[in-house]
Amino acid sequence: MEPVIEVRDLKKVYRGSEKPAVRDLCLTVRKGEMIGVIGPSGAGKSTLLRCINHLVVPTSGRIFIEGEEITGAQGARVRRLRRRVGMVFQHHNLVARLSVMQNVMHGRLGYMNTLDGILGRYAEEDKKRAVSILEQTGLGDFLYHRAGELSGGQRQRVGIVRALMQQPSALLCDEPIASLDPASAQVVMELIQDVCRRHGIACVVNLHQIDAALKYADRIVGMFEGAIVYDGLTGELGGAVIEKIYGKPMEELMISGQMPGGQYGGQG
């Protein structure tokens, strides 16, 4: 099966820093595959996602979306490639004063001309699809509620539906449950897992919570100081590997008997 996302020898050095945020990074993600990316703060997890979506321009290396290179792309070509890649952010990135429906419909802006987008002239077919997805995700009763009135878990679900409105081939989730309580986090992770499997979407999700990565991801990618130090099946992630990823002995990683990022662990 051809990869949906392919990253080759990625390197990113931010201006004013001598140390690469990511280095020598290679990654392949296939249709319907869910990759959990774990590692300590500063490991380069967010930079990886932002490079894939061209929100950050790599210093070197190449990135392909369904075989088409996005590195070096500009203007209309970038916008066209970004339509294939949905993005879910830690803090939702919703417009609080707008309704749930209005926020969700923003997922169609990449397919519209500027004037139609400004005036909100969305196709009826797209509106019906938005309502259908919101109902499927338990948000059907909140169509006309302002996004700012929702709970954190509900706002995150709206963000996921907005990304799905792009009809993406890939979904990038940057710490989607970092600020949620355990019950809301479970709902959000189950939703991400379900939609990616049902629609064959390649998914890369950054997580501080190792327990969530173990439960929901098909494959684990461990990052440390900008490099991938582990890439393997979820069931093969043992204590020695976790110590390598976090650069500390296991006993230093335990907080109140929990693994780092677990229910009682911090965000890192």
Alpha-carbon gap, residue 116 to 109, rounded angstroms: 9
Q: For residue 213, what is the enclosing H or E element?
A: helix 210-216
Helix axes 152-164, 182-199, angle to 10 degrees: 10
CB of 48 within 8 A of CB of 19? no
Amino acid at 154: Q
CB of 109 within 8 A of CB of 117? yes
Per-residue pLDDT of the chain (268 residues; tens, 9 = 90+): 789 999 999 999 999 888 999 999 999 999 999 999 999 989 999 999 999 998 999 999 999 999 999 888 888 888 888 889 999 988 878 999 999 999 999 988 888 877 877 788 888 999 999 999 999 888 999 999 999 999 999 999 999 999 999 999 999 999 999 888 889 999 999 999 999 999 999 999 999 888 889 899 999 999 999 999 999 988 888 888 888 888 877 677 654 344 455 442 333 3
Query: For 136, how many CA atoms within 13 A lie in the half-sphere containing its CB?
Result: 15
- Name the one residue in this structure whose structure tokens are 């290679």: 26
Residue 20 neighbours by CB under 8 Å, 6+ apart: 11, 12, 13, 59, 226
Q: What is the SS3 assignment for 31-87?
A: CCCEEEEECCCCCCHHHHHHHHCCCCCCCEEEEEECCEECCCCCHHHHHHHHCCEEE
pLDDT computed for residue 257 by the predictor: 40
Alpha-carbon gap, residue 207 to 196, rounded angstroms: 17
Alpha-carbon gap, residue 47 to 37, rounded angstroms: 12
| Topology at the third CATH level for domain 1-84+170-268 | Rossmann fold (3.40.50)
Residue 248 neighbours by CB under 8 Å, 6+ apart: none
Q: Which of 71, 53, 74, 54 is nearest to 62 (CA)?
A: 71
Alpha-carbon gap, residue 172 to 215, rounded angstroms: 18
pLDDT computed for residue 80 by the predictor: 85
pLDDT computed for residue 76 by the predictor: 81
Alpha-carbon gap, residue 178 to 152, rounded angstroms: 11
Write out the two tokens for 19: 């140390």
Write out the two tokens for 113: 């001309």
CATH 3.40.50.300 domain position(s) in the chain: 1-84+170-268
